[in-house]
Amino acid sequence: MSTPARAERERLCDLFLAVGPDAPTLCGGWTTQDLAAHLVVRERRPDGAIGILAKPLAGYGEKVRQHEAERDYERIVNRVRTGPPLLSPMRPAPIERLVNTIEYFVHHEDVRRASGNWGGRDLDADLKKDLQQLLPRAARMLGRSSPVGLVLVPDDAEPVVAKKPGDDGHSVTVSGPIGELVLFMYGRQAHALVDLAGPDDAVEAVRSASFGI
């Protein structure tokens, strides 16, 4: 069964092949080959993937990713396109929706927007729906690192309180399309097409906050 996560995976893989292995991304200093290798490790090497979340194991995880990145680029992209192994717990559609919709949407935009020649895009209704369902939980988790209160206001959905105001009462409202709010909360503030409202110092603090995983 096709899902928005699967559709974003396919679009990203097509883009990987179109731009080649040395294109920039929004993921630090990673090239497209580096990012593709990361996605393979995340789904096929649980021993290396745990380093994404567990900092003490980050060094080992990076070694696993670098080893994957030494493969032929088209082979790496094909491994991304194929997805997790057949018996992987990440393969069923409900789990794929939960763990891969935002992952592949964000990384698709990481490649699109790193080129410097990009604009917002109209998202499929199913993708928008899944992002709307997934954003509240993700925003509350990621919003803990916000320096002030933070409220997200999607164009077509109810507001999401990512973090309640602190003792100073300062809060920032971020408004825009659901996909842009997802990118904002996943650390792509400089490339997200959103509007921020609040005290000037609070807005600046949110723009430069370290969101993302």
Q: Could you tell me if 63 and 31 lie in one domain?
A: yes
How far apart are alpha carbons 5 and 187 in whole angstroms?
Answer: 20
Percent of the chain predicted with pLDDT > 90: 69
In a domain, 169, yes or no: yes
Same domain, 8 and 73: yes
Residue 116 belongs to some domain of the structure: no
**Does any domain span residue 11?**
yes
The Cα diameter of the chain in Å comes to 54
Beta strands in 26-184, from DSSP E residues, in sequence order? 149-154, 160-163, 171-176
Q: Does residue 80 share a domain with residue 136? A: no
Give residue-wise pLDDT tens across range 9-41: 999 999 999 999 999 999 989 999 999 999 999
| Residues 159 and 95 both lie in one domain | no
Residue 181 · residue 191 · CB < 8 Å: no
Give me the mean pLDDT over the 80-105 stretch.
90
Position 186 in a domain: yes
Query: Mean pLDDT in the chain?
Result: 91
Query: In total, how many domains does the chain have?
Result: 2
129: left (phi over 0), alpha (psi -120 to 50) or beta: alpha
Alpha helices by DSSP H, the chain:
4-19, 32-44, 46-49, 58-69, 73-82, 93-114, 125-142, 178-185, 200-207
Pairing, β 149-154 against β 171-176: parallel
Q: How would residue 7 be classed by pLDDT, with cut points 50, 70 and 90?
A: very high
Is the domain of 86 the same as that of 13?
Answer: yes
Is there a single domain that holds both residue 72 and residue 150?
Answer: no
What confidence category does residue 157 fall into, taking pLDDT thresholds of 50, 70 and 90? confident
**Same-domain check for residues 22 and 101:** yes
Is residue 36 included in any domain, yes or no?
Answer: yes
DSSP state of 189: G
For residue 169, the enclosing domain spans 125-207
Residue 156 lies in a domain: yes
Higher pLDDT pick, 53 / 12? 12
Expressed in angstroms, the distance from the first to the final Cα of the chain is 29
Residues 74 and 18 in one domain: yes
Is 138 found in the same domain as 45? no
Same domain, 100 and 140: no
Mean predicted confidence (pLDDT) in 41-56: 75
pLDDT above 70 for 88: yes
19 in any annotated domain = yes
The model carries a pTM of 0.92
Strands 149-154 and 160-163: antiparallel
Last residue within a domain, chosen from 74, 105, 136? 105
